[in-house]
Amino acid sequence: MGKSIPITIGDLFFPSKKAATEAVRQRIANYKFNDFLGESDKHFFLELFKHHSEYSEKVGSGIRGIEVRRDEQGNKYLHLHRTDGTDEDISWGHCISPKKEKTVIYEALRSAVKEQIQQYKEKAVAQRLLCPFYGTPLDMKNSHVDHYNPTFEILIHNFQCEIGRVFIVRDIAEQEGNDYRGIIKDRELLESWRDFHAGKANLRLISKKANLSDAKK
């Protein structure tokens, strides 16, 4: 088993990220959608948000209140209201378990083209394809869409070469109600990536088993 990583939130010590996560969820569970956090919980989360990699940008002029909102899946997330009248989402999960910069960028780039991938998957499933590795009949539940020749990583590399720059984490913003994947901030850059992916990506439908194993390597 891996070693537990402790985390301190203000003057509170938690022996592991799991313990901190449970404490956060318990606090949020006490509120309904569109409620604002009470002063004690507001203070707790302001201390937690100091662990965010974009803390200064998120806080801005200062935080007037923290609202509990509902995402597309019906889950609760937190939304900041600043003293200057502006507002923005913030991921408390990111504060407890910050992702590596490469992971943040790759997830945002995948999210940007999710509609293209979903459209491909629906068409491929309708053709009643078999997994090229295991011969399994594929459907919407047991299949994944795979980038190959080029791989997704090489596709990103080629796009960065084309635009003459590399993505950095500051290119990515959190999506509304989304504690999981970000989105490219610059609209022109976002559309350029989508167009590049649509023209250069080579997709195939494979089984989840193949995608999660060494079969395709």
pLDDT at position 91 is: 86
pLDDT at position 180 is: 59
Same domain, 122 and 66: no
Q: Are 87 and 79 in contact (CB under 8 A)?
A: yes
pLDDT at position 177 is: 55
pLDDT at position 169 is: 81
Helix, strand and coil in the chain, % to nearest 5: 45, 20, 35
CATH of the domain at 75: 3.10.450.40
| Region of poorest pLDDT, from 4-18, 41-55, 91-105, 171-185 | 171-185
Using alpha carbons only, what angle is made at residue 60 by residues 56 and 62, rounded to the nearest 5 degrees?
Answer: 110
Same domain, 55 and 111: no
Same domain, 37 and 73: yes
Q: Does residue 216 belong to any structural domain of this protein?
A: no
Same domain, 19 and 105: no
- Note down the domain range covering 45: 7-96
Same domain, 196 and 113: yes
Same domain, 168 and 138: yes
Same domain, 119 and 207: yes
Same domain, 71 and 116: no
Q: Which of 78, 96, 114 is the last residue of a domain?
A: 96
Q: Does residue 173 belong to any structural domain of this protein?
A: yes
CB under 8 Å to 50, separation ≥6 — which residues? Answer: 95
Same domain, 134 and 202: yes
The tens digit of pLDDT for each residue in 125-146 reads 999 999 999 999 999 999 999 9
Query: How many domains does the chain divide into?
Result: 2
Same domain, 48 and 128: no
pTM for this model (two decimals): 0.62
pLDDT at position 1 is: 43
pLDDT at position 181 is: 72
Q: Which of 72, 96, 120 is the last residue of a domain?
A: 96
Q: Which of 36, 62, 96 is the last residue of a domain?
A: 96
Q: Does residue 1 belong to any structural domain of this protein?
A: no
The mean pLDDT value of the chain amounts to: 89
Q: Are 166 and 160 in contact (CB under 8 A)?
A: yes
Same domain, 92 and 109: no
Average pLDDT for residues 95-108, to the nearest whole number? 83
Same domain, 65 and 21: yes
Q: How many CA atoms lie within 13 A of 165 on its CB side?
A: 7
Q: Does residue 187 belong to any structural domain of this protein?
A: yes
